[in-house]
Amino acid sequence: MYLGLDLGTSGLRGILVNDEWKVVAEAEAGIETSTPKPGWSEQAPEDWIEACKQVIASLRALDASALSAVRGIGLSGHMHGATLLDAEGKVLRPCILWNDTRSAQEAAELDQEPEMRTITGNIVFPGFTAPKLDWVRNHEPGVFAKTAKVLLPKDYLRFWLTGDYISEMSDSAGTSWLDVGQRVWSETALDLSHMSVDQMPRLVEGSAPGGELRTGLLQEWGLSGPVVVAGGAGDNAAAACGIGSIDEGSGFVSLGTSGVLLVAKNSYAPDPETAVHCFCHAVPERWIQMGVILSATNSMNWLSRNLGQSVGSLAVALPETLTGPSSITFLPYLSGERTPHNNSDIRGAFLGIDVSAGPVDLTQSVMDGVAFAMRDCLEALKSTGTEPDRLLAVGGGVRSRFWLETLATVLKVPLALPDGSEFGAAIGAARLAACAVSGANPGEVMVPPQTSDVIDPRVDLFDAYESKYQLYSQSYKALAPLAAR
């Protein structure tokens, strides 16, 4: 048996799978996010540990014999978070999360250092880890002085599981401290952000062993051991492993809290000026390119909260099929934007609202706006020479056929639906665990799933959606100067 643990922004999910990838048991535990100031987003690392304890207890209650047969654990987690520890391994402050924008000034200053993009292959985004530490240095010097280790969220969970300071390539590529081409910590990038290699965890590949479950937990969970903890992956690389996207050109579009358009690469192909992320993959000698928007299903969650209706009820009120784009333009920049704008100041907007507009109109405009933002990501990838001819569709948003048809039409790319539901980051983490335990070739383990359906673009609506996309693009250009702070 293998255990995949996915530390998401809203909760921790654990799944137990056997060597045929059948899910035997699964459990989840929620995690609260704190927003003490506008643009801030933090979590308490001890809440991750408590969530893990709850998930394990639930799995044990569901199937104790399956849990006792676990031989490998894979970890996935939300990227870029700064978890600061002192010399004794104690947490110094709440973790600053991926969607926190407080370090925009520090990010801009680091990005002006010409070596940073050359080394890391990416813009230094405000959400990345390095500028967060520079913010702490500027605003919390006492905390900065005590910082002996910086861990990404899933790697703090690993520290609790194993007692080891270890990370892997895919997650570490989002820190702005990794030489992404060489897959090693960059002393130059660290020095430019007033950090050192000694403050970094040891690096392994995601499919390699990354510690062993400590004796106390073996006994507490009823495991005979030993249990290998794999290097694991950042959430998007783990999701790619879960759906078999490890070879050149294979990829997916994810409608989750954030939106991701990811394509696997067999070689390192950075192009930071496009704001496309170029990271290491979770398996050796592979990389990924991806465009990221910060509010995908989060835009629907926001609308649901403010209209007082569930996301499900808003979605089912839409027509069964497309007839054309909404007359309202929604810009989904609720927390700023990454690809292609790299703008932490921009904020969302509805444009063209009529007195007759109701919940259905607003819902469609939100879905349209997110689809147009994903089109921005695709255009950025195309500018690097990456042009997928088909994508798998994953994430909570794929429950809406209307949204999928919108997205396929706006991207002008067929979207395939995996056969079954277990193709997310947790299953990818479990697959990485299997590789770490057995030494198997990742290509033999991370095979693409069968597809249950393919959503084809509506060719008859291309012109209508193309015109609306151009209006959407012009709206950003008009709004951006007004949002500057």
359-382 helix and 297-307 helix, angle to the nearest 10 degrees = 160
CA proximity to 167, closest of 184, 182, 147: 184
Contact status, residue 34 vs residue 457, Cβ threshold 8 Å: no
E strands, 31-70, are 42-43
Rounded to 5 degrees, what angle do the CA atoms 197, 200, 201 make? 130
Q: Which helix (H) or strand (E) holds 289?
A: strand 287-293
CA gap 447, 240 in Å, rounded: 10
Instruction: Tokens for 428, please give them.
Output: 């990818």
Known catalytic residue at 134: no
Residue 307: count other Cβ atoms within 10 Å of its Cβ. Answer: 15
Q: From CA 135, how far away is CA 35, in angstroms rounded?
A: 17
Q: Which of 155, 179, 235, 376 is catalytic?
A: 235
Instruction: Mention every residue, 6+ apart, whose C-beta is less than 8 A from residue 96.
Output: 40, 41, 42, 81, 82, 102, 103, 132, 135, 136
User: What is the CA 27 to chain-centroid distance, rounded?
Assistant: 20
Distance from C-alpha of 152 to C-alpha of 175, rounded to nearest angstrom: 9
Q: Cα separation of 180 and 202, whole Å?
A: 15
Structure-block tokens of residue 350: 């509805």
Query: Given phi > 0 = left and psi -120 to 50 = alpha, else beta, which region is 222?
Result: left
Could you give the CA distance from residue 170 to residue 155 in angstroms, rounded to a whole number?
12
Active-site amino acid positions? 235
